[in-house]
Structure 1
Amino acid sequence: MAAPLSAWPWENLGIYKYLLYGPLLSKVLYTRIQEGSFKDDWCLHILIICAARAVLHQLWSTFVNMLFLTSNLRINQQGYDFKQIDKEWDWDNFILLQALIASMACYMYPPFIENVPLWNTKGFITILTLHVGISEPLYYWVHRCFHTSDLFTKYHSIHHSSPVLHPFTGANATFLEHLALTTVIGIPIIGSYMMGYGSRSMIYGYLLVFDFLRCLGHCNVEVVPHQLFDALPFLRYLLYTPTYHSLHHTDMGTNFCLFMPFFDAIWKTLNSKSRELHKKISSSAGKDRRTIPGFVFLAHVVDVTSSLHAPFVIRSFASLPYTTRLFLLVCWPGAFIAMLMMWAWAKTFLISFYNLRGRLHETWSVPRFGFQYFLPFAKEGINKHIEEAILRADRLGVKVISLAALNKNEALNGGGTLFVNKHPNLKVRVVHGNTLTAAVILNEIPKDVEEVFLTGATSKLGRAIALYLCQRRVRVLMLTSSTERFQKIQKDAPIECQVYLVQVTKYQAARSCKTWIVGKWITPREQSWAPTGARFHQFVVPPILSFRRDCTYGDLAAMRLPDDVQGLGNCEYTMERGVVHACHAGGVVHLLEGWSHHEVGAIDVERIDLVWKAALKHGLKPV
């Protein structure tokens, strides 16, 4: 049974909890309709403050997850996993709680908010005095009380259960704890008003600065330069740092302060390692102190809206499979401007990482969008960015770098062959991962299938699938208008199997074939030639539209990562949690097996079964 006041009153409402803001919004709209303008209404101010606080937390979250900016200053190098993200999903409960308390206070005591000036200098001095003299020591002792065994187990352990600090971690606490925190926040505000020094700017300023400092302490990125404390030593007792607060989560008997280490110093709970650790991490600015990853997956953005699925945009959205949502349309203009900025200042950047069996795996992204790969004049620039990423990985000592779908396009760079030929002494292994992609698709096809229809038949994957199936005595209808390319593939098959490869030039040839393998995007009209009950397997990006209700559609080739993955907190495009594209998984297998060859260019059909068995051996599973 849960402890009293540990659960939130609206815990079971889910997203409908935001309806509790309804009365405030209704009051604002009613005033607007009745008086023809937005007057200085306390309901309006409460809503604006709530929105500003939410935006402030989101901006901190965005900054923290910009690994290409913050990776060398991270205190804990571990990633945010799905478990932590889910646990902190309702981090904004405290904003709703304080909004409801503020609205009740203003309703019950109207003089509190009447004739309040915009600015009052004495109010800022008063609220600062009350904060330092009352709120700071009060929080210190309340915090220490929550660390006693009984209260910690029932309440405070939730806050400490997040393995890696994040701005949302500071807000992740029980209902009782936030009631106590609301008291700590409310005392300086109410005290200033009762003394006659209240102002609107004071409320806005105090709440936003309070939230800013809370996010600062929980951001896991050391942003306070140690030189500041070297020049002004007394400041280290007036302002805590992310490093300082992180020690409280590793050594819970120390560093209890709200924002001012002065109170830890006078009550002898100051962690002796605080200054040393702060200087060590702060000195890493401009240096790369990350553990060198064993594997890098070089991704790319599919389109403008999918760029909003990056972990540094909205963490909760990135932790779910990508799907089109209404807010994406609202954010599209901003994402488009960001795309233009990336064109102007374009560098490969780190977007996520996770650990698999003690080896750090990172995802880097080429700052190019899907449609750019099909612009003839963009080819050279894209290859330049991919080459720079490969050379950077080589300098760092990365073992394997795997190329995502369009980064290994045959027309772009020959499936990575261009880079291997240009730099024959590369230590990093360049992998397109298509061998495992082919294995995944082939293992989806029932063993008793006698005929398949294959589009994209002369691509790397199409060729490998056709050659593999014909050796299984499966008749492959290869859709291609190029007789020359078809015959070249047919000659690669054993003589006795060549009869199973059949060239077709129209979709009508597959009207009786129930197994379609789609490697080239097909329209709903082209799908209409498939018979009822057909199954569409596919290896085309983006996936084809599920147009036929009387047919079934396979997902893009993918594999589920092993259960011992740590720090994985974002979904790969439309894939489920813990699932990655097969080409990504192919690079992982390459690393785990310790293979020393490059996997570029044409797929070695003889290795398909070998790679598949290796993937299963290492705990990867078909979806």
Structure 2
Amino acid sequence: MESSLSTWPWDYLGSFKYLLYGPFIAKWFYSRSQEENNMKEATWCLHILIICLLRCAIHSVWNTFSNMLFLTRNRRIIKEGVDFKQVDNEWDWDNFILLQAMIGSLGFYMLQDQINLPLWDFRGFLAIIVLHITISEPLYYFLHKCFHGNYLFNNYHSLHHSSPVPQPFTAGHATFFEHIILGGIIGIPILGSCLLGYGSLTMIYGYVLIFDWLRCLGHCNFEIISHQLFEAIPFLKYLIYTPTYHSLHHTEKETNYCLFMPIFDVLGNTLNPKSWEMHTKLSIESGKNGRVPDFVFLAHVVDMTSAMHAPFLFRSFASTPFCTRLFLLPFLPLVFVFMFVMWAYSKVFLATFYNLRGRLHQTWVVPRFGFQYFLPFAAEGINNQIEQAILRADKLGVKVISLAALNKNEALNGGGTLFVNKHPNLKVRVVHGNTLTAAVILKEIPQNVSEVFLTGATSKLGRVIALYLCRRQVRVLMLTTSTERFQKIQKEAPVEHQKYLVQVTKYQAAKNCKAWIVGKWITPREQSYAPKGTHFHQFVVPPILAFRRDCTYGDLAAMRLPEDVQGVSSCEYTMERGVVHACHAGGVVHSLEGWTHHEVGAIDVNRIDLVWDAAMKHGLKPVSFLKKTD
């Protein structure tokens, strides 16, 4: 049974909770339209709305900054990554902002006759600092310590500590009861200053926003304050806490209870003795490279809207499969500007990481948009960036680097062969991962299929699919107008199986074939030649349109990561949670197996079953099989 006031009263509303801001908006617009003489109440509603927006912005900006791993990776305090469970638990982190908006409006209605706020009053800043230090800080310390007693902790405060990795959003993740108390702690200095006659709008804005800023600082999980500051001004370490200081409270709960000022932990004898030593160590080591990953997946941006799916921008958005949403549209001009900035000067950056079997796996991103890969004059620059990423991985000691779809484009760099040939002494293994992609597609085709129709037949994947199926004595109708390329592939097949490879030049040739393997985008008109009941397997990006209601469509080759993976908190483009593209999974298998060869260029048909068996051994599961099982 849930404890009283442990849950939020508007939990059942979901996203509709934001409608509770409606009365503030309605009051403002109604007063404006009616041209009321007394605009004091309406103006206060407007200020509450502005403060709420600014508070959300502060938490969001801090969250973005703390998750920019390319900036903070060497300063992280708790090294583990955030997982989907924590993201979901903290989904409604902003509940407290709505609550305190209501508290603020209630306070105004009760005292509006006694309070008349100017824009600025310097005395108010002095008053609120004194009241904060003498009332809010010790009161928070005392109550926080009480919340670590058995009853209050188990029924209320444990929710806040259930987040294993502190994040700026964790600052707002607490029970309704706790935030009622916190609202009072924030309100006492504001109310006191106003009743003394020293209040001002600037004071209220400043105090509330600085309060949130400091709360986010403590929960950001990377050390931003230099130890040299405390060496230069020793007493300052008792007046302002650090992210390291507060993280110790999350890991060793009976210490470091203060709000922002460690002096109260000193006076209360609850100071963690490791606080300053750990802070100094993290600060000194921040300039050094941290743990070297075993595996790197070199991804790329698809388009301008998907660029906003990066986990350091909108965490909740990145934790769900990508789709274009209306709230993204206002940000497009900003993304457009950044696109040109990245085009002019950009470096590969670290986007995410996760832990699998004790091995660190990272995703690096080439900051280029999908369409740029098809611009002839951009090819050299893109290859240079990919090459620099490979050389950087080699220098760091990375064991395997896997190339995402466009980064291994055949026309761009021959599926990675360009880099391997140019740098024959590479220690890092370069992998395109397409062997597992081919395996996923092939294992999806039922054993009783005797004929398939293959588009994109002379591509890297088309070639190996045709060669593998002909060995199974499956007749492959290969759509291609190039007889030379067809014959070259046909000659690679064993002599006794070459008869199963058949060149066709028109879609009409497949009018009786119910198994289509699509490696080249086909229009609805071209799909119309397929007979009723056809299943479209596909390895084409973007996926074809599901035009035929009397046919079924397969997903792009993808695999679910093993159950013991840790630190995954974002979806890979349109993939479901915990699912990655098969080429990504192919690099993971390469790393877990410890294979020492490069996997570049043409796919070795003899390794398809070997790679598939290795993936199954390590607990990866093909998504299409999972859906059939469900």
Does the pair score TM above 0.5? yes
SS class of match (2:580): strand
3-state SS, counterpart of residue 478 of structure 1: strand
CA contact (8 A) 1:145 1:151 kept: yes
1:241 paired residue number: 242
Cross-structure match for 2:539: 539
Cα-to-partner distance string for 1:109-143 (whole Å, 9 max, x where unaligned): 32255x31000100010011000000000000000
**Superposed displacement of residue 37, structure 1:** 12
Give runs of aligned pairs for residues 152-551 of structure 1, distance below 5 A. 152-288=153-289, 290-551=290-551
Q: Which amino acid aligns with 1:220?
A: N
Alignment match, 1:117: 118
Deviations 1:27-81 (A, max 9, x none): 1111222229996611111000000000110000100110001101111111110
- Equivalent position amino acid for 1:381 in 2: G
Which residue of structure 2 lines up, in the alignment, with residue 576 of structure 1?
A: 576
Q: Does 1:126 align with 2:127?
A: yes
Deviation at 1:268, TM superposition (A): 1.0
1:283 CA displacement:
1.6
Query: What corresponds to 1:151 in structure 2?
Result: 152
> For residues 36-47 of structure 1, what are the structure 2 equivalents within 5 Å?
41-47=43-49
Mapped partners of 2:210, 2:546: distance in 1: 50
Alignment deviations for residues 275-302 of structure 1 (CA, whole Å, 9 cap, x no partner): 11111111233321x2111100000011
**Offset of 1:548 from its aligned partner?**
2.1
Tell me the alpha carbon deviations over residues 367-406 of structure 1, each in whole angstroms, 9 at most, x when there is no partner.
1111011011111111100000001110111110000001
Q: Within the alignment, does 1:49 sit opposite 2:90 as a pair? A: no
Length-normalised TM-score, structure 1? 0.98
- CA-CA distance at 1:250 after TM superposition: 1.4
TM superposition shift of 1:149: 1.1
Partner AA of 2:435 in structure 1: T
Q: Partner letter of residue 99 of structure 2?
A: L
Could you list the structure 1 runs, at least 4 aligned residues long, displaced by more than 4 angstroms after superposition. 36-40
Distance (whole Å) between structure 2 residues aligned to residue 37 and residue 208 of structure 1: 30
Give the secondary-structure state (helix, strand or coil) at the position aligned to 2:141.
helix
Aligned to 2:626: none
SS state at 2:168 partner: coil
Number of aligned residues: 621
State whether residues 80 and 567 of structure 1, in contact with CA within 8 Å, keep that contact through their aligned partners in structure 2. yes
Give the Cα–Cα distance (whole angstroms) in 2 for the partners of residues 545 and 579 of structure 1.
22
Determine the C-alpha separation between the residues in 2 that align with 1:599 and 1:129. Answer: 66
**Whole-angstrom distance in 1 between the partners of 2:81 and 2:545:** 34
Q: Scaled by the length of structure 2, what TM-score is found?
A: 0.97
Deviations 1:321-346 (A, max 9, x none): 11111112222111111211211221
1:541-579 Cα shifts (integer Å, max 9, x gaps): 222222222221111100010000001111000101110
Deviation at 1:479, TM superposition (A): 1.2
Deviations 1:176-230 (A, max 9, x none): 1101101100000000111011111111100000000000000001011111111
- Matching residue's letter, 2:91: W
The range that moved more, 26-35 or 405-414, is 26-35
| Residue 606 (structure 1) aligns with | 606
The equivalent position to 2:105 in structure 1, one of 103, 106, 131, is 103
Tell me the SS of whatever aligns to 1:537.
strand
Question: Does structure 2 retain, via aligned residues, the 8 Å contact 1:106–1:112?
Answer: no
AA matched with 1:16: F
Partner deviation per Cα, 1:295-324 (whole Å, 9 max, x = no partner)? 000000111100110001100000111111
CA contact (8 A) 1:28 1:38 kept: no
Inter-partner Cα distance in structure 2 for 1:410 and 1:276: 52
Q: Which residue of 2 aligns with 1:29?
A: 29
SS class of match (1:476)? strand
Q: Structure 1, residues 78-112: CA drift from partner, whole Å, max 9, x if none? A: 11100110010000000000011112222333225
What secondary structure is seen at the aligned counterpart in 2 of 1:555?
coil
User: Counterpart of 2:284 in structure 1: which amino acid?
Assistant: S
2:368 partner SS: strand
Instruction: Provide closer, same or farther for how the CA distance between residues 527 and 282 of structure 1 changes in structure 2, counting only shifts above 3 A.
Output: same
Q: Which amino acid aligns with 1:272?
A: P
1:219–1:242: 8 Å Cα contact kept in structure 2? Answer: yes
Mean CA deviation greater in 162-171 or 503-512: 503-512
- Of residues 337-346 and 130-139 in structure 1, the stretch that sits farther from structure 2 once superposed is 337-346
Matched residue of 1:297: which SS? Answer: strand
Aligned to 1:595: 595
Tell which deviates more after alignment, 32-41 or 94-103. Answer: 32-41
Give 1:499 deviation, angstroms.
1.1
Q: C-alpha separation between the residues in 2 aligned to 1:314 and 1:38?
A: 40
Specify the alignment match of 2:627 in structure 1. Answer: none
Query: What is the one-letter code of the residue matched to 2:249?
Result: H
2: CA distance, partners of 1:551 / 1:332: 36
2:587 counterpart letter in structure 1: G
Q: CA deviation at 1:529?
A: 2.1
User: 2:549 & 2:81 partners in 1: Cα distance?
Assistant: 40
Q: What CA RMSD, in Å, does the superposition of the two structures yield over aligned residues?
A: 1.3
Say if 2:617 is the partner of 1:617: yes
> 2:136 corresponds to which residue?
135
Deviation at 1:598, TM superposition (A): 0.5
User: 1:526 Cα shift?
Assistant: 2.1
Report the secondary structure of 1:298's partner residue: strand
Distance 1:490 1:423 in 2: 32
Q: Secondary structure at the match of 1:596?
A: coil
CA distance in 1, matches of 2:7, 2:445: 49
Match of 2:556 in 1: 556
* Distance in structure 1 (CA, Å) of the matches to 2:550 and 2:355: 42
Q: Could you tell which deviates more after superposition, 508-517 or 230-239?
A: 508-517
1:87 to 86, 89, 98: 89
Give the Cα–Cα distance (whole angstroms) in 1 for the partners of residues 477 and 29 of structure 2: 64
Looking at structure 2, the residues matched to 181 and 480 of structure 1 have their Cα atoms a distance apart, in angstroms, of 69
C-alpha separation in 2, matches of 1:2 and 1:39 = 43
Runs of 5+ in structure 1 lacking a partner? none
Any idea what SS the aligned residue of 1:78 has? coil
Q: Distance in 2 between matches of 1:105 and 1:22?
A: 19
For 1:373 and 1:482, the matched residues in 2 are separated by 25
Match of 2:271, SS?
coil
SS in structure 2 of the partner of residue 548 of structure 1: coil
More deviation, 439-448/31-40: 31-40
Gaps spanning 5+ residues in structure 2: where? 624-630
SS of the residue aligned with 2:254? coil
